[in-house]
Structure 1
Amino acid sequence: MTSVNASNWAELLISYLGGGAMVGNSVKSFIAATLMIAVALGAGAAHGAVLVNEHFEGYGPTQLNWAGSSDLTVVRGTVDYILEPDFGLSTPFGRGLVDLDGSSGHGGRLNTALFSFNAGDTVIFELDASGNQRNGSPDTMSYGLIFNGLVGIDQVIARLPGFNFGPDGPFLASGLLSSVNLAADAPWGHYYYQFVTYTSGSLYATIDTGSADNVGPLIDNVRLRIHAVVPEPQTWALMITGFGLMGVALRRRRYMGRLGQKAPDLRIVRAC
């Protein structure tokens, strides 16, 4: 896609109004300045909704076979909420964490609620995870997003320790899922998905493990955000002002054209 900056726009619009002979220098300068300011402020800003922001803090003492929180619901198996230093487990982000393989020995799955999005939104899902920290066998951890039907996505980025993917797309997908094998002593690492939607729909985030021995991957800092681009009020105001003055200049050109006279230079008078 070709980029058009504020100066290009100003020249195009001045040309549309009849060129330099019909539009005064002050009007030209004002048009260019108005558009440059609007571009500097941005045609729109990303207004994000943090839908899930779970740090596993404030839930009291360790709770085996934990039921989950308002952000994350246990939908299969069991998980344990651990307050360090219980069981010798630790997190660098606070004191609370979750063991994905609860005390029942049936690996758990955590899901968020279902959230809607619009075309053009940016979706970001991320979490921190480590190995089980107990000299057990390696564990699998799966994480990602499930869509309610096929969704068009673009600029897909995936990041995890030692691996970066993307941006990729566009394509249709019913979800984005990754599965990793974590050694027991795997350090804490960051796991991240980001993409832009080009169709509307809904989604939920999911995290689970195939572990079934009461010793599973540990997770912390689960976060889901959806950012929508919304025009800033000041940007709209500047653009409306600029186009309004261009409309005035156009009317002046037509009127002076009928009189067979050259339009005088329009000057902006500022109060001192």
Structure 2
Amino acid sequence: MDVNSKTAVVTGGAGGIGRALAEELIRHGARVLIADIAPTVGQVAEEIGAASWQGDVAAADGVTELLAAAEAAHGPVDLYFANAGIVGPTGIGEDEDEWDRVFDINVRAHIRAAKALVPGWQARGEGYFVSTSSAAGLLTQIGQAGYSTTKHAAVGFAEWLNITYGDDGIRVSCLCPMGVNTPLLTGGERAADAADRTANKAVTSAGRVLEPAEVAEVVLAAVESETFLILPHPEVLDMYRMKGSDYDRWLRGMRRYRRTLAGGSAS
């Protein structure tokens, strides 16, 4: 899809990948609204030349309000970048509210947005949904139960959308990067929890940490070519193929890698 003169919404747009996506979309001629729960979203929008909406995109009424704000600012939404995300619980024993929150933001927010957008896109015969997942959604994130589980779910939902509505002119892409220089990653370096630090090390030692602008360029190229799986780190595909070729061997290797990261024996 050519994004020139199209209306795009980017959630989690006040920083990191979201801000970089918004800036890249604007450079390509799109009309952009950025959404974020952070109070800085209005200032960021002013800096980059976008419209803004502050609120919780994980809430059903939040999605309704967001889309109404986008349409009021720029007209019907053509592209939706479901980019907002959190890490969530590190293990399986945390409070249920933490699990509810990570599912709401990382998965249900995508479902609720698609539910609101798809009927209009079907009627117009065109629309584009871009899901920000993670390499964790293809490979699993050591030390992060909530993140790994919900990112797998985000990949699955994006696949389902593509299969179900692709013949109606609705395009879907799924972004699965490894390390990107954002607060979501860098915060793990200073975390008090050992599991958080291990998770951070697993990402930063697996490949080069990219800048958000590098990721945004790859995403826009994929949108223009209507490619489903967006891999700013091409080596993820090799890892994914290795996983699929011998799942048990891959799991054994991941357990060894986890022990190494935690300071134990790799044998």
How does the TM-score come out when normalised to structure 2?
A: 0.24
More helix by share: 2
How does the TM-score come out when normalised to structure 1?
A: 0.23
- Which of 1 and 2 has greater Rg? 1
